[in-house]
Amino acid sequence: MKTIMPEDAQIVHDIEQTFKTKYNSSPSLFCSPGRINLIGEHTDYNNGLVLPAAIDKYIILAIAPREDNEVHIFSQDYQDSYITSLTHIQVSGKLWPDYIMGVIDEIQKLDKKVRGVNIVFGGNIPQGAGLSSSAAVECATAYALNSLFGLDLNSLELAKISQAAENEFVGVKCGLMDQFASTFGKENKLIRLDCETYEYKYIPFDTNDYSLILFDTQVKHSLASSAYNERRQQCEYGVQLIQKHHPEVRSLRQASLEMLDKFVKPQDEITYNRCEYIVREIKRVEDSCIDLLGANYSQFGKRMFQTHAGLRDQYEVSCEELDFLVDHVKDYPEVLGARMMGGGFGGCTINLIENKAMDKIADNTAKAYSQTMGKSMKIYPVSIVDGTRMLIKKGE
């Protein structure tokens, strides 16, 4: 199992200390990673395939049961508290507690018994960068409550509870990818997840010559979550148009390019573009897995560029900062692939680059980004790690 790195060890220590000071007792500690996605963007809520992995950036959650029904939460990052009762769960009005309260709410809906808890949490997953810090908070909470109260929920159930918290309580109609990756992550492995059947396979990713590096635009445009929900509706509309002729088609997973040409294109060009991107992207994930299993990284890299073009031109979820970063790196021979990652409208690009040129390309890109876009970019080299787990059990 991947051990916690020194920088993370400091965060664990700080969170544990804050807990002891605030609540005068010792907690159990859990960690839950952020995620990257190699390919398969916006395919999860279309019952398609995705290829994410958990990364070495974490949410750390310290928790202990209380004798009453109250939930006391302290956010180390916001230096802010939230107190409520298990019998009066409602949206907080300040977002950060909702990721935790949403999970508690979903668990209670299943008639599983939880008691009050004290919590301190924080971490080093950059927020708003598209690395799923919110999914990590949800997954850490679900995992912690499951082990604290012996709820007997399996890992898939924990990931789905976390997704439901985001869908129902936070109001973002996301798919399962982020919560699945955070829960099921495995060191040096990508997760090929079939979002229709929930079947998954680990694909080795231990390249010696290439590494993954993220370039963070440091922007998050405000239409991100409304546009996300809108894309989902557009895909559902495309499916409805096909279903009139092919009732067996349940989602874009069963749709073909021919069906889109015949039944969607004549009705609505925008819907057609969205759906065509998705159908091609699902196929790209399948092909990418073959590339990666055959260690054909250059072919895989080309598919990353194709995904970016589709997200930019057809799905229209990119932005000028992301396009700039992908355009800037594409002519370096040492860059195998690059694309925007996650929901879009800001956040990071993911780049597959030869190790020997990594520093030079990262430096040049940061300079060019600041000169042209007038903003600074952040650079995150990432390693692939295990998923959500317990670090310390209370009393140990």
The footprint of ligand GAF (CB under 6 A) covers 41-42, 44-45, 132, 174-175, 177-178, 342-343
Q: Rg (Cα) of the chain, in Å, rounded?
A: 21
Least distance in Å: CB of 142 to ligand GAF? 16
Least distance in Å: CB of 375 to ligand GAF? 22
Q: Please count the helices (runs of H) and the strands (runs of E) in the chain.
A: 11, 13
Report which of 28, 50, 53 is spatially closest to residue 39, judged by C-alpha positions.
50
Least distance in Å: CB of 177 to ligand GAF? 5
Alpha helices by DSSP H, listed for the chain, are: 6-23, 98-109, 133-149, 155-164, 177-184, 224-243, 257-259, 269-293, 297-313, 320-329, 358-373
Least distance in Å: CB of 50 to ligand GAF? 7
Q: How far apart are CA 23 and CA 72, in angstroms?
A: 9
* Residues 11 and 122 sit within 8 Å (Cβ to Cβ): yes
Give, in order, the Cα–Cα distances in Å from 371 to each of 218, 324, 368, 374, 376.
15, 12, 5, 6, 9
The catalytic position among 44, 56, 178, 386 is: 178
Query: How distant is the alpha carbon of residue 159 from its chain centre?
Result: 12
Least distance in Å: CB of 80 to ligand GAF? 24
Report which of 322, 81, 56 is spatially closest to residue 182, judged by C-alpha positions.
56
Least distance in Å: CB of 130 to ligand GAF? 6
**Residue of minimal CB distance from ligand GAF?**
174
* Residues 377 and 20 sit within 8 Å (Cβ to Cβ): no
Least distance in Å: CB of 274 to ligand GAF? 13
| 321's tokens | 């900062």
Q: How far apart are CA 167 and CA 178, in angstroms?
A: 13
Q: Between 177 and 279, whose beta carbon lies closer to ligand GAF?
A: 177
Least distance in Å: CB of 154 to ligand GAF? 20
Question: 3-class DSSP state for residue 244?
Answer: coil
Report which of 161, 315, 321, 168 is spatially closest to residue 227, judged by C-alpha positions.
315
178 is catalytic: yes
* Residues 253 and 196 sit within 8 Å (Cβ to Cβ): yes
* Residues 380 and 347 sit within 8 Å (Cβ to Cβ): no
Give me the helix-helix angle, 177-184 and 155-164, nearest 10°.
Answer: 140
Query: CB-side exposure of 233: number of CA atoms within 13 Å?
Result: 7
What sign does the CA torsion over 83, 85, 91, 97 have? positive
> Among all residues, which ones are annotated catalytic?
178
